[in-house]
Structure formats: structure tokens, C-alpha cells
Amino acid sequence: MTRRVVITGAGTINALGVDVLATNAAMKEGRCGIGPLDIRDVDRLAIQIGGQVRGYDEQAHFNRQQIALYDRFTQFTLLAARQAMAQSGLTFTGELADQSGVILGTSGGGLNTQDENYRAVYEKGKNRVHPFIVPKLMNNAAVSQVSIEWNLRGPSFTVATACASSNHAMGQAFNMVRSGMATVMITGGSESMLCFGGIKAWEGLRVMSKDACRPFSATRNGMVQGEGAGVFVFEEFEHAKARGAEILCEVAGFAMSSDASDIVMPSKQGAARAIAGALKDAKINKEMIGYINAHGTGTAANDKTECAAVADVFGAHADKLMISSTKSMHGHLIGGTGAVELLACIMALRDGVIAPTIGYEEPDPECALDVVPNEARDAQVDVVLSNAFAFGGLNAVIALRKI
Amino acid sequence: MNTQDKVIAILAEQAILEPSDVSLDNSLDDLGIDSMALVETIFSIEEAFDITVPFNANEPSDSAFDVSTVASIVAAVDKLIAEQV
């Protein structure tokens, strides 16, 4: 018998809020978390906006020893994990600890730490850096710190597939619990790339917007980066039921594909195979899908390709479902984006509110779907999808179901 | 080398052609320069002339920098150089 997997805890910190409630409230209001970047040397950047976590004081959450080891992406992860753990009510000892692990997505890992320390040795000519730079910047730092803090001793690793990292991580966590390899998996992802080097590299591709992220709008002119984390507790259904846990929703299916075509240009076929694959894995008819949280980056290429893929997979039903991109509000969290976007999916299932695509100004005939423009909408949906299509052509789609 | 010769040299290198095979009325399509090669071309132009080119790959035709032909690129570069002084 196939085991079922449910979500029993969620946590986040991102440009829209410092927890799930605040983030959901912002999504319901259609509030924009994107604004002027407050980072070092911003005057030398062509792109000066982002979905930054504002007013963040690391010393309010961590002591000096911890800060020496925790890059901003690890800090965000731990803050989100605290919330998710508290909600789940789980503690990990004995056999459960051995059967539970952590799989998180990130693309840049400790990029702020790299940026600061390259600056120290190259720009300032220093010949010495802090002894903990490597354990602070490594991509698996966040996974390991979560494992250490909550005594999670089972399968744990980091997934880095650019913009699909979190979805790939959550898909892996889902399959581990479903297959019996684990009882509980802490999963999701985080990113903190809003530093001089992080933005400068992205500028080079010429796909960033200087003013706003307007997915699906004919007036869209590129993506805007964000930062933050989303962390979830994926738990085997019977285990959650037996302990009377509050179940947020079921993880119904997951699929991934590779375009095997171009390193940056997305492929309709690759995206469509991942979407159709998730439906098949979840054993659900396409007509049951009420909402899709789009990858919706706001670039010319992604949005039209994604809409074409959705139209291909869903046929006539594509005009009946809702599809929105919450990146318009929190920005593109790159390796953490799928995790924060899963919150919009859970909100749709639990609260019956579909997060909007804000900044929508003008229809684009190549994105002629119901993109829930500018205002959140009340709607009852039972099954939802979350899309992620990464640079490198790596696609990951996750399906959630009301329970 | 004047602006035109330099721009043609950059485009020829991207297109894997001899500079003599690039004419002023060629479009990027004519030269087989795709969107990624265009982004690299813009970068090479910025480096060669020490200018900043206002170019967004999401809206190449709307950008202030006209990339419709070799001649238009040369004119746009000359304009940016003049504005910079």
C-alpha cells in the first residue's frame, strides 16, 4: 500500500512577512514587497530593486557564536524552521530521529559570506579571513544546522537546481516519506542573493526589470530578485493522524523533467511534461486542478512558454483554472522560491483565497489565461499545482490536495 | 579603428564571419545572432567603448538601443559615446 504524505507545519520569512500569517495577509491584500534595495554599493548596480527582508536584525534572533556560523540564508532557514517545527509539535528522539531528515533547496548558498570575504581579500587586500567561512558559506550549511538543532539524523542533503531547487527538494522529501525511507522530512528552501555580487551577476543576463515584476502582463520587462525562506514539515499521514496533528494539506504528487535543449531559454515541452507528470503521479484528472502557482518570472520568455505549456496540458480546462504568480509580490527567491510559493498553494486550499498576480497592466495574447490580476479572489479549490522551471532547463512540479 | 569597424569586428566574431562579410544593412537574424549572442554582443560593445548600453532582453525592440541593423547599432553606439562626453 502506498503511503500518503501530509504537511503538518509551515514557516517562512520573506519580503512580505516574518511568518506565514503575515505572508498570507500580504498575499490576500495583493501587497508588493519589492522596493529599493538597501545593500552595500547599490549605487554601482544597474538594478536597484528587490524583494528584500527589511528591518531584519540578526542579533535579535541569534547570538554572536551562531552569527559567526550562520550566513543570512541559514538564518532565514532556521527562523522558518522554528515556526514549522512549533506548528507541527514534533520532537525528534530515538527511532523517529533516525527516520527523519532535512532536504532543502538553495542556489547561491552563503553568497553574502562569499561576497563579503572576496571583498576582504581582493578589495581590501587582507590576507586572512574568519576561520568559519567555509562552514558558513557551504550550500549545505542550512540543512546541517536544521539537522543539528532538531536532532534530525536521517537522510539529509541540499538540492541546487537554480530556480527549481525548492521544488526539487520538496519532491525528493515527498518521495522519501511516500516510499518509506523516512517518516518525517523537513523541506523547502531558502535564498539570500541580494548582495552586490549576486545582483551584478544577474544584471549581466539583461533579464532583470528596473521597476517591477509584472508577470503575464504585456508590459512586463523582466524578473526581480527576492530573498527569504520557506520550510515545511512533510509527515507520513498515519503518523500524523495517530498523534492528532493538525494537517495543512496532502502532498499529492510530484514530477520533474529536463528540457535537454538550451541553458537559459525555456521549453514548452519540458514544462508540459513536468506538469502532466505531476498529475499522473498524483492520479488526478486535469479537470480537478483549480489553481496553479505559476513559475511566472515576469520575463518575456518564461511567461509565454509557461502559458503555452499549461494550455497544452489542460486543453479546454486551461481557461477554467486560475494561475497566478506571487513573484510579483515577493520577488524571485531563486532557490527558495518554490518554498515560499507553496504557501500560496496551501492558502488556496485552506483559506479559499487565491493570491493575485499584481502589477498586471495589460493583457498579453500569448498569456491568455486567468492570471487572477491584481486582486486576490475567493474560490474553493481542491487540488493545486506549483510550477518551477529552472535555468538549465530543469523542471519540477508539485501537486497539493485538500484533506 | 572607428566605431563602425569596431562594431563590425564584434558582430563578426559573434557570428563567426569575416568582417568583410558583414554589411551595414544586415539584421542580427541575417548574421545568425540569437538572443544569447546578442547579450554577449552588447557586453562586448560596452567593454570596447567603455559605455553602458540600455538594453533589456525582455523587450529588445523597445530598448532605447536600436538593434535592428548593423547600421542602427553603429549609430546607437556613436550616440552613447557622444552622450558620455
Q: Chains A, B: CB contacts under 8 A, how many?
A: 31
Q: How many domains does chain B have?
A: 1
Residue-wise pLDDT tens digits, A52-62: 999 999 999 99
The predicted structure's pLDDT at residue A209 = 97
d(CA A209, CA A298): 9
* Chain B environment of A204 (Cβ under 8 Å): 39, 43
* Chain B environment of A222 (Cβ under 8 Å): 56-58
d(CA A83, CA A62): 15
d(CA B32, CA A76): 45
Per the prediction, chain A carries an average pLDDT of: 97
| Domain containing residue B55: CATH number | 1.10.1200.10
Q: Is A403 helix (H, G, I), strand (E, B) or coil?
A: coil
**What phi and psi, each to the nearest 5 degrees, are found at residue A377?**
-135, 140
Residue-wise pLDDT tens digits, B23-75: 999 999 999 999 889 999 999 999 999 999 999 999 877 778 999 999 999 99
* Chain A environment of B51 (Cβ under 8 Å): none
Q: Does the CB of B58 have a partner CB in chain A at under 8 Å?
A: yes
Distance (Å) from the alpha carbon of A220 to chain B's nearest alpha carbon: 8
Q: Domain range holding B75? A: 3-84
Contact of A100 with A185, CB cutoff 8 Å: yes
Other beta carbons within 10 angstroms of residue B41's beta carbon come to 23
- Residues of A that are catalytic: 163, 295, 332
Residue-wise pLDDT tens digits, A137-180: 999 999 999 999 999 999 999 999 999 999 999 999 999 999 99
**pLDDT tops 60 at residue A1:** no
Q: Does the CB of B59 have a partner CB in chain A at under 8 Å?
A: yes
Distance (Å) from the alpha carbon of B35 to chain A's nearest alpha carbon: 9
Residue-wise pLDDT tens digits, A302-335: 999 999 999 999 999 999 999 999 999 999 999 9
**For residue A45, what is the nearest residue in chain B, using CA coordinates?**
B52
Cβ of A264 and B36 within 8 Å?
Answer: yes
pTM of the model: 0.95
Q: What are the structural domains of chain A?
A: 5-242 (3.40.47.10), 254-397 (3.40.47.10)
Distance (Å) from the alpha carbon of A207 to chain B's nearest alpha carbon: 6
